[in-house]
Structure formats: structure tokens, C-alpha cells
Amino acid sequence: MRPSSALTAALTAAAALALTATGASATAGAATPGASARPAHCQEKALRISASPGDRRHVARIAVTNRGGRTCVVDRIPTVTFRGLDGSAQPVPPATSGSYVLSPGERGYAAVRTAERGTRQGHVVRSLSVAADPAHYGVTFGAATVGMDRGIRVWEPVTTLWHTSRGAADRALAAATR
């Protein structure tokens, strides 16, 4: 055996021994009797994404609906990007990627603030795109759809995580951007 092959074999054996000692299965993701299966990621075609004006200038409401027949998961942080600009809206409060479970027919709601009230800084763009998962292409909405007829002013944009109601998303945005 070559030295690198011997090292690989030793590490594999050590990992198998550690799994056996802790009672874990060596097959990642395998269902064990009595354990509930984790829902799969939602396929993009099973989701409906919508956007509408928020209750304040520079705020848009977004929603995702599971139109599929099975419970599935999307990322808990909506991916919101703006035409012609790099990057995406940052989550408030700051968060890392995670799962948000949607049962069939269930909706998740989020709010997006594109710029601080009264700001004249930033760029004006004609559309924003929303994806329920970073691996999805998402849906693009024109400025008029989100109530920003003169364009979407973008300066330090933020988004809430998905919530179970529109009101909860609005309250989360208001609390996080005070």
C-alpha cells in the first residue's frame, strides 16, 4: 500500500469504529426503525413565490407556498437579490442557513426592507428576485409589483426569516430595524 492509501484506510477504520461505539449508523441519512424521516428539500416547481407592497415605503412582502403533495423544506432565509447588483439582502436578525418546513398548501412569509426610510443613498433598480432556497433560480418581480413605481432604491437591504404569518414577518422586520 502507498502511504496515502494506508492513511485513508486507517482513517476509514477509525471512523467505522467510532460509529459502532456510539451506536450510529454508518449509512448517512439512513432511516432507522422508529425514527421519523426528515422531509426532503422542496423542488422549485412545487413552490409558488409571490411579492406585494409592504405597509411602508422601501418594504416588500414576500411569500412562499408549498403547492406539492408532500411536506418539504426550504432555507429559513429567503434569497432576495436585486437586478444588476451583487449580493443579496442580509437576514435580520443575523442568522445562518437552516431548514423551514412547509406542509402541503402551507405558506411562509417574510418582509424585505430595501433601504432605510428617507435615504437618498444607494442604487435604483427595476426588479428584485426571490428564491426560497439558494439553489433555486427564483422569481423576478418588477418595481410596480412591490409598490415601488419609481424603482427600487437599494441601500443595505435586509430580509426577515420565513414566518408563519404576514404579521409576524412585519413585526420581526420592525423590531430588527429600529
46-98 pLDDT per residue, tens: 999 999 999 888 999 999 999 999 999 999 999 999 999 999 999 999 999 99
Residue 170 CA to residue 63 CA, distance in Å, equals 12
Which stretches does DSSP call E strand in the chain? 47-53, 59-66, 72-75, 79-82, 90-91, 99-102, 107-113, 123-125, 127-131, 139-142, 152-154, 158-159
Model-level pTM? Answer: 0.78
Residue 142 CA to residue 127 CA, distance in Å, equals 4
Domain boundaries, the chain: 44-176
Residue 90 CA to residue 109 CA, distance in Å, equals 16
* Model pLDDT for residues 3-18, shown as the tens digit of each residue: 434 433 433 333 333 3
Q: Residue 21's pLDDT is what? A: 36
For all residues of the chain together, what is the average pLDDT?
83
Q: Could you say which architecture CATH assigns to the domain 44-176? A: Sandwich (2.60)
Residue 165 CA to residue 109 CA, distance in Å, equals 6
Q: Residue 100's pLDDT is what? A: 97
Lookup: cell for 151: 424603482
